[in-house]
Amino acid sequence: MTNKIHSIYLSILFLTGVLITIGIAVYGFDYYTTSMEERFFNPLHNLLKPSGTVGHGLGIIGSFMMLVGVSSYMIRKRVRRLSRLGLLKHWLEFHIFLCTVGPILVLYHTAFKFGGIVSISFWSMVAVVLSGVIGRFIYIQIPRTIQGHEKSFEELNEENAEITIRLREKYKLDEKLLFTIEEFLIVESYTSVPFRKIFQTMVKDYFKNKSILKKIKKSLNNYNLNKFRKKEIIKICKSKLVLTRRIGLLRSMQKLFKYWHIAHLPFAIIMLVIMLIHVSVTVLFGYTWIF
């Protein structure tokens, strides 16, 4: 999959999710904003109530999307024979799409009314989605190959050295300017960051990097470089800043990702178990949707 096709793929997933969310909200706005006591008299009640034709269908489709999203990604990740079946990061993106849109459909299925044992499944689902967002953030902080495998310290340091060589050989920056740039990019400044302050450090780092890039821009003004050349160098320096931070925080992020798995999995299991109980009870009571 080329970068252009991948961008189109992501755009389609994103737009599909947005259109589904907005479309159902617009269609059922009058019903969902009606009080619980008065919904029985709403013309859309028989369609959008949890056991209604549309409401029931949303629950089935949403649950199916979550089951497919979780199982397909887990199977692709753990079965070696499937390693050539697309890149892991593309499967992860599809997993995120299904496990984001699926819960939204389930939310509409409930008609925003939560109670009994189903409420435990619902709030577990909310916890899974929120922790999934956090997990995605942590995931992208760990540098990976195009196949989705984590890069080692050696690979990252080589990549960092290659950027320096490119600045020296391709852009002909002298040693004095290179030394000035390297002064701002100290890996060791991140290694002493306490585990509990990682996210705080990253927020501060965003503003710190802006300040560093301004100083580098100022240093470049002392050299006879055209505007386009300066932009290219700043872009590379920006990549180098991000890479420096990721090298410094690599061990902490790997540990944080491990802890995240421990927290994320129980919520997912609780959600799936109660959801299966709910489906079984629903079928036993004769709610078979359109079949």
**How would you write the chain as a 3-class SS string?**
CCHHHHHHHHHHHHHHHHHHHHHHHHHCHHHHCCCCCCHHHCCCHHHHCCCCHHHHHHHHHHHHHHHHHHHHHHHHHHCHHHCCCCCHHHHHHHHHHHHHHHHHHHHHHHCCCCCHHHHHHHHHHHHHHHHHHHHHHHHHHCCECCCCCECCHHHHHHHHHHHHHHHHHCCCCCHHHHHHHHHHCCCHHHHCCCHHHHHHHHHHHHHHHHHHHHHHHHHHCCCCCCHHHHHHHHHHHHHHHHHHHHHHCHHHHHHHHHHHHHHHHHHHHHHHHHHHHHHHHHHHCCCCCCC
Nearest to 252 by CA among 192, 200, 189: 192
Exposure of 271 in the CB half-sphere (CA atoms within 13 A): 22
Per-chain mean pLDDT for the chain: 79
Higher per-residue confidence, 21 vs 161: 21
Cα separation, 131 vs 109, in Å, equals 22
Tokens of 200: 């705080």
Confidence of residue 261 (pLDDT cuts 50, 70, 90): confident
CA terminus-to-terminus distance, the chain: 39
Query: In terms of pTM, does the model score above 0.95?
Result: no
Cα separation, 63 vs 119, in Å, equals 15
Cα separation, 74 vs 78, in Å, equals 6
> Domain segments of the chain: what residues?
3-149+254-284, 153-249
pLDDT tens digits, 70-128: 888 888 877 877 777 777 788 888 988 998 898 899 889 888 887 766 677 777 888 88
Higher per-residue confidence, 196 vs 272: 272
Answer yes or no: are the C-beta atoms of 79 and 139 closer than 8 Å.
Answer: no
Answer yes or no: are the C-beta atoms of 242 and 173 closer than 8 Å.
Answer: no
pLDDT tens digits, 205-260: 777 777 777 877 777 777 677 788 788 888 888 887 777 777 777 777 777 778 77
